[in-house]
Structure 1
Amino acid sequence: MKFDVKKLRFNDQGLLPVIAQDHNSLEVLMLAWMNAEAVQRTVDSGKVTYWSRSRQSFWVKGESSGNTQNLVDLRFDCDQDCILVLVEQNGPACHTNRRSCFYTAVREGDEIELMQPE
């Protein structure tokens, strides 16, 4: 069956959350947003393309930084309102120059930084 982006359930702003995960290590790298066109661009090009809510424009991951995300697999959840992209991550995923945006944990009530910038 051919994928149809219209089957996805976007929120009132026409967006849905996207979790990026490294396809080898399965490390969760980041969370961002896509609209229908960003989903279709990602599927068509193999380059993960997000929708920037702050800039109100498309954002091909790594276009300016070189820290690209090549699409390995695109999945959506049972409610069709969230996407998981398994990616080949080249360089850090986070704009803070860390491998993952999820570099802070709370352990026994203390905030702990799990990784330093690369």
Structure 2
Amino acid sequence: MKKIITSLFLFSILLTNAQDKKEEIKPQIVEAACGQCQFEMKGYGCDLAVRIDGKTYFVDGTTIDSHGDAHADDGFCAKIRKAEVVGEIVANRFKVTSFKLVPKNKKNGLQ
């Protein structure tokens, strides 16, 4: 019985320690637009990109057309928009797990 209690105690410590090491990735507000049209990145066609701390990255995990018509007046090819994102930079690309456009300011139509 004592060995079982000791084993359970050690297991709970290991489990707690492993959870502490998991770094929670928090949402951040970034600029989002067509990489080619707005950020002047090299590529083919129109692809979604984000600018984080002055650097631009193409996005994996969502597409430019998943957020409306990219070629509309307020689309990613015409304007740089704000987005709340969760993800990480891997191999010079932004791997997104959550991407939400920030609503436009109703007062002036700008973000």
TM-score normalised according to structure 1 size = 0.28
Q: Which structure has more helix as a fraction of its residues? A: 2
Q: Which structure has more strand as a fraction of its residues? A: 1
